[in-house]
């Protein structure tokens, strides 16, 4: 009753022709286990768990006491196999079910699986087929329980899962940042019946209303007259005029009914005109009228329930919604009308997968999947596809075939930074490219333009592997396809941001076993920079205190110019390897900088030292070694403890935690200040939990968060364009913060009113504290 009974009329004729190569759909079947299936009236959703072997880059320090010095490199890079857990969800039309089962059977090597969890209205119908084909016992699970479990799972694990739909806005989809506490909420599932469920916690939910109580008109009503496929009906409806069928307020009153606030165009009586005349009504008009009637009615009831139970978050899902712009619009309209904007209708990006996810979770309870954090793999997931007929042709070809969602398990727990001023309103990304069409166009172009370079570097990073060029080519195709998809459907993976574009690229690189294309470049740069370390430190020590403070800041900024992630810089670096630290300093913009809070920062330094500083570092080489470490050294000398947070996994040329461990050990061997800092645990290295060039302060490694709390951190420093400009530029922290970056992209520099290599030095003190706040702020 909850599922997609609204079925195709030509149901279940087995079609053997699969359009896409199935091995690109049912991936990693060799190690698959814990199958679950959700069969609706027209769509089947299959879920399984598998382990994925992929290559990871590791660094290992050489034993420098040993005689045979391996050239003069600091550390060796090795590529190792690592096994990670992945969840696969595949959605396809019921017509393919037999073909798909055959394919799975043929490729399922692992035989320890005995049971398949099943849910959905069609589970019963296909029970025998599944058992016969797969040799697994079908174990039915309650549909509503699965739905709720799935809903909780996506809300908890996918940051941009929920969105509001606005038909006429620049960006139709506005994604919501998930509230830290997802409960309580109302889930309105509209299939052939309607269910209104109040969810209070993981295990506590109650069906408070719906068709069995209300007996409300459901989409099924549409079939009694038309006998047509639901999607065709929606198409009809989008062409119709309901005013010929419905009786409007103005039909009765001649205009609006002002004293009641009823406008003339309001429907007074649905189908009120179809009783009065013997005339024929166009099908389109009637379909439209039905659509309005059903949407308004369900919206009204949902509002009444939300009001009664004091709930402000109402999610809509089910066959009726299924990403249809038409129904999302009418439901949104209805909710807005009945609550006067107090309640927003929310939709889910993975609404179609909820049942399958829930059934899977039921079957995997012994693995404790809820204990882990899972992250959407952009390389393996199709993203949100709309079934709107006027969407781009590429997508039309896609819908109706196969749709995939893949999620990777994170091995470590992620939590929010305890120093966020308001975690519920924190949005990492500075610019939402779904809403900013101009910026979207530029960045999509920029990433496409940089693709050749990335491919070349990927190939160059694996000179010993002859098939590397072929893999790199596959990577290029995959990422280019993603960019094309995003050009037409910027909303496919939630809010489109520079961060998501970067992350998607990393996911795609990993997908084709290019775990760290920059490993060798980073290695070379680190080697080079280390040679200048002592010289740089000594030069700084000679300066007077006042001059040194500015030199340290300039050093961090100059070091930040070295960034292979930015195209402008990588061009220079590649053509001129001698481009040195001093040269970078000269390239820096003169003060006053584009955003210049240096004077306030300088004043602050005259005061008492900070207790503990958390430093999110950026690039390897000159940046970390000649820029960041000297700055950190000064903090340590002032009596400030320092937590250095670096990436858990590789992204561009960003220094990873593994690399930084080795680098600091080497520096400690030369520099007693760093050495004692490490020894006394006044200098600590932690991983951020991320493998992205950007930074989401709401998803950080738990160890980091704990340390930050224990050490009573009172200063957060964020360095680099990815972490301080593309993300966190507007992040409000509950302690002092420094955001330092050099703008290495001329388009962005232009947009900010600066020029290439303009400097952002933003020092902020939270409101309420004795403030020397720098008011300078540029709108991004």
Partner 1 sequence: MPGLCRSDPNNEGAAAPGPSSSERRTFNSTARLRTDSVKKSRPLFPWFGMDIGGTLVKLVYFEPKDITAEEEQEEVENLKSIRRYLTLNTAYGKTGIRDVHLELKDLTLCGRTGNLHFIRFPTQDLPVFLQMGRDKHFSSLHTTLCATGGGPTSLKLHKLDELECLIRGVLYIDSVMPRECYYFENPTDPDHCVERPYPLENPYPMLLVNIGSGVSILAVYSENNYKRVTGTSLGGGTFLGLCCLLTGCSSFEDALEMASEGESTRVDKLVRDIYGGDYERFGLPGWAVASSFGNMMSKEKRETVSKADLARATLVTITNNIGSITRMCALNENIERVVFVGNFLRVNTLSMKLLAYAMDYWSKGQLKALFLRHEGYFGAVGALLELLHSS
Residues in 128-187 that interact with partner 1 by CB under 8 A: 142, 144-145
Q: In whole angstroms, what is the distance from residue 28 CA to residue 122 CA?
A: 26
Residue 653, both tokens: 């040329």
Q: Taking CB under 8 A as the rule, does residue 121 contact partner 1?
A: yes
For residue 190, the minimal CB distance to partner 1 (Å) is: 11
Q: Coil, strand or helix: which one is 421?
A: coil
Q: Taking CB under 8 A as the rule, does residue 578 contact partner 1?
A: no
Instruction: Please compute, for residue 546, the number of CA atoms within 13 A of its CA located in the half-sphere on the CB side.
Output: 2
- Contact status, residue 702 vs residue 413, Cβ threshold 8 Å: yes
Q: Taking CB under 8 A as the rule, does residue 341 contact partner 1?
A: no
Instruction: Residue 716: name the closest of 420, 344, 446 by CA.
Output: 420
The CA–CA distances, whole Å, from 492 to 160, 173, 382, 392 equal 10, 10, 8, 13
When binding is defined by CB under 8 A, the residue of 253, 442, 579, 747 that contacts partner 1 is 253
- Contact status, residue 418 vs residue 735, Cβ threshold 8 Å: no
With contacts defined by CB under 8 A, name the span among 265-273, 392-400, 489-497, 691-699 that binds partner 1.
Answer: 265-273
For residue 94, the minimal CB distance to partner 1 (Å) is: 14
Q: Taking CB under 8 A as the rule, does residue 301 contact partner 1?
A: yes
For residue 501, the minimal CB distance to partner 1 (Å) is: 43
Q: In whole angstroms, what is the distance from residue 760 CA to residue 593 CA?
A: 7
When binding is defined by CB under 8 A, the residue of 224, 368, 371, 575 that contacts partner 1 is 224
For residue 12, the minimal CB distance to partner 1 (Å) is: 13
Instruction: Residue 592: name the closest of 759, 478, 437, 739 by CA.
Output: 759
With contacts defined by CB under 8 A, name the span among 259-267, 566-574, 633-641, 769-777 that binds partner 1.
Answer: 259-267
When binding is defined by CB under 8 A, the residue of 9, 13, 71, 775 that contacts partner 1 is 9
Total Cβ atoms within 10 A of residue 122: 25
Strand residue runs (E) in 546-673: 595-596, 612-616, 641-646
When binding is defined by CB under 8 A, the residue of 225, 441, 535, 547 that contacts partner 1 is 225
Q: Coil, strand or helix: which one is 152?
A: helix
- Contact status, residue 358 vs residue 148, Cβ threshold 8 Å: yes
Q: Taking CB under 8 A as the rule, does residue 270 contact partner 1?
A: yes
With contacts defined by CB under 8 A, name the span among 216-224, 366-374, 569-577, 613-621 that binds partner 1.
Answer: 216-224
- Contact status, residue 638 vs residue 609, Cβ threshold 8 Å: yes
Secondary structure tally for the chain: helices H, strands E: 27, 25
Q: What are phi and psi of 44, to 5 degrees?
A: -110, 140
Please tell me the count of residues contacting partner 1 according to CB under 8 A. Answer: 64
Q: What residue has token string 């001649």?
A: 254
Q: In whole angstroms, what is the distance from residue 573 CA to residue 623 CA?
A: 14
Q: Taking CB under 8 A as the rule, does residue 263 contact partner 1?
A: no
Q: Taking CB under 8 A as the rule, does residue 283 contact partner 1?
A: no
Whole-angstrom Cα Rg for the chain: 29
Q: Taking CB under 8 A as the rule, does residue 338 contact partner 1?
A: yes
With contacts defined by CB under 8 A, name the span among 17-25, 130-138, 253-261, 650-658 that binds partner 1.
Answer: 253-261
Q: Taking CB under 8 A as the rule, does residue 220 contact partner 1?
A: yes
When binding is defined by CB under 8 A, the residue of 79, 118, 286, 346 that contacts partner 1 is 286
Q: In whole angstroms, what is the distance from residue 507 CA to residue 380 CA?
A: 8
Q: Coil, strand or helix: which one is 20?
A: coil
Helices (H), 309-436: 325-339, 354-363, 393-398
Q: Coil, strand or helix: which one is 70?
A: coil
Nearer to partner 1, 281 or 602 (CB): 281
Q: Taking CB under 8 A as the rule, does residue 199 contact partner 1?
A: no
When binding is defined by CB under 8 A, the residue of 53, 110, 212, 241 that contacts partner 1 is 212
The DSSP annotation for 98-117 comes to HHHHHHHHHH-------EEE
What is the sign, positive or negative, of the torsion defined by CA atoms of 215, 220, 221, 222?
A: positive
For residue 216, the minimal CB distance to partner 1 (Å) is: 5
For residue 367, the minimal CB distance to partner 1 (Å) is: 24
Q: What residue has token string 């079934």?
A: 387
With contacts defined by CB under 8 A, name the span among 57-65, 264-272, 340-348, 747-755 that binds partner 1.
Answer: 264-272
Residues in 411-440 that interact with partner 1 by CB under 8 A: none
For residue 270, the minimal CB distance to partner 1 (Å) is: 4
Nearer to partner 1, 220 or 391 (CB): 220
Residue 469, both tokens: 């060029």
Q: Taking CB under 8 A as the rule, does residue 122 contact partner 1?
A: no
Nearer to partner 1, 42 or 382 (CB): 42
When binding is defined by CB under 8 A, the residue of 6, 551, 731, 749 that contacts partner 1 is 6
For residue 355, the minimal CB distance to partner 1 (Å) is: 15
> Using CB under 8 A as the criterion, which residues of the chain lie in contact with partner 1 when the complex forms?
1, 5-7, 9, 41, 121, 142, 144-145, 191-193, 206-207, 209, 211-218, 220-221, 223-225, 227, 245-247, 251-254, 257, 259-260, 266-276, 278, 281, 286, 293, 296-297, 300-301, 304-305, 307-308, 338
């Amino acid at each position: 009753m909850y599922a997609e009974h609204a079925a195709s009329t030509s149901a279940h004729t087995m079609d053997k022709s699969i359009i896409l190569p199935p091995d690109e759909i049912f991936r990693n079947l060799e190690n698959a286990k814990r199958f679950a299936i959700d069969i609706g009236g027209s769509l089947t959703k299959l879920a399984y768990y598998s382990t994925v072997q992929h290559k990871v880059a590791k660094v290992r320090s050489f034993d420098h006491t040993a005689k045979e010095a391996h050239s003069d490199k600091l550390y060796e890079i090795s590529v190792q196999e690592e096994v990670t857990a992945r969840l696969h969800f595949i959605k396809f039309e019921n017509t393919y079910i037999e073909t798909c089962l055959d394919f799975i059977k043929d490729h399922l090597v692992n035989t320890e699986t005995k049971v398949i969890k099943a849910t959905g209205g069609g589970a019963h119908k296909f029970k025998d087929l599944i058992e016969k084909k797969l040799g697994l016992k079908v174990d039915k699970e309650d549909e509503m329980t699965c739905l709720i479990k799935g809903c909780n799972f996506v809300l908890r694990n996918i940051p941009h899962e929920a969105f509001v739909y606005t038909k006429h806005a620049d960006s139709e989809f506005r994604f919501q940042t998930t509230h830290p506490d997802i409960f309580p909420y109302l889930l309105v599932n509209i299939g052939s019946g309607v269910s209104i469920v109040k969810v209070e916690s993981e295990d506590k939910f109650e069906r408070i209303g719906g068709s069995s109580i209300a007996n409300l008109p459901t989409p099924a009503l549409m079939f009694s007259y038309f006998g047509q496929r639901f999607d065709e009906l929606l198409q009809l409806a989008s062409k119709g005029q309901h005013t010929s069928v419905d009786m409007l307020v103005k039909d009765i009153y001649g205009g609006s009914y002002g004293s009641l606030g009823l406008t003339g165009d309001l429907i007074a009586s649905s189908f009120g005109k179809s009783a009065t005349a013997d005339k024929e009504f166009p099908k389109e008009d009637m379909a439209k009228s039905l659509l309005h009637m059903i949407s308004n009615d369900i919206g009204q009831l949902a509002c009444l329930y939300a009001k009664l139970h004091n709930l402000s978050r109402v999610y809509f899902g089910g066959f009726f919604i299924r990403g249809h712009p038409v129904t999302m619009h009418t439901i949104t309209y209805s909710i807005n009308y009945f609550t006067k904007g107090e309640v927003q209708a929310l939709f889910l990006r993975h609404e179609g997968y909820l049942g399958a996810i829930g059934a899977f979770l039921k079957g995997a309870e012994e693995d404790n999947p809820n204990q882990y954090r899972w992250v959407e793999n952009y390389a393996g997931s199709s993203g949100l596809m709309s079934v709107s007929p006027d969407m781009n042709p590429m997508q039309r070809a896609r819908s109706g075939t196969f749709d995939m969602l893949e999620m990777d398990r994170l091995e470590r727990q992620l939590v929010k930074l305890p120093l966020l001023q308001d975690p519920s309103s924190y949005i990492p990304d500075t610019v939402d490219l779904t809403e900013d069409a101009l910026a979207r166009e530029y960045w999509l172009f920029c990433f496409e333009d940089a693709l050749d370079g990335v491919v070349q570097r990927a190939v160059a990073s694996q000179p010993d592997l002859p098939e590397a060029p072929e893999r790199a080519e596959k990577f290029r195709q995959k990422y280019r396809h993603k960019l094309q998809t995003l050009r037409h459907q910027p909303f496919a993976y939630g809010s489109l941001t520079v961060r998501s574009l970067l992350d998607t690229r990393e996911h795609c690189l990993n997908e084709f076993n290019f775990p760290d294309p920059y490993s060798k470049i980073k290695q070379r740069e680190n080697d080079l920079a280390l040679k200048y370390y002592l010289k740089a430190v000594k030069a700084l020590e000679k300066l007077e205190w006042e001059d040194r403070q500015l030199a340290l800041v300039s050093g961090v900024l100059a070091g930040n110019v070295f960034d292979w992630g930015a195209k402008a810089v990588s061009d220079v670096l590649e053509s001129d390897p001698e481009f040195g630290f001093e040269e970078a300093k000269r390239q820096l913009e003169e003060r006053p900088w584009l955003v210049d809070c240096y004077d306030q920062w300088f004043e602050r330094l005259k005061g008492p030292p900070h207790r503990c500083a958390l430093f999110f570092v950026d690039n390897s080489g000159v940046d970390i070694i000649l820029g960041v470490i000297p700055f950190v050294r000064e903090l340590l000398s002032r009596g400030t403890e320092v937590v250095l947070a670096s990436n858990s996994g590789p992204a561009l040329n960003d220094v990873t935690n593994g690399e930084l461990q080795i680098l600091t050990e080497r520096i400690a061997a030369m520099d007693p200040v760093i050495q004692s800092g490490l020894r006394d645990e006044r200098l600590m290295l932690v991983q951020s939990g991320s493998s992205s060039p950007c930074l989401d302060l709401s998803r950080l490694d738990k160890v980091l968060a704990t340390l930050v709390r224990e050490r009573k951190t009172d200063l957060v420093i964020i360095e680099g364009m990815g972490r301080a400009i593309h993300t966190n530029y507007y992040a409000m922290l509950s302690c002092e913060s420094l955001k330092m970056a050099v703008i290495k992209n001329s388009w962005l520099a232009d947009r900010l009113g600066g020029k290439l290599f303009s400097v952002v030095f933003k020092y902020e003190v939270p409101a309420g504290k004795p403030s020397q706040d720098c008011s300078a702020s540029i709108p991004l």
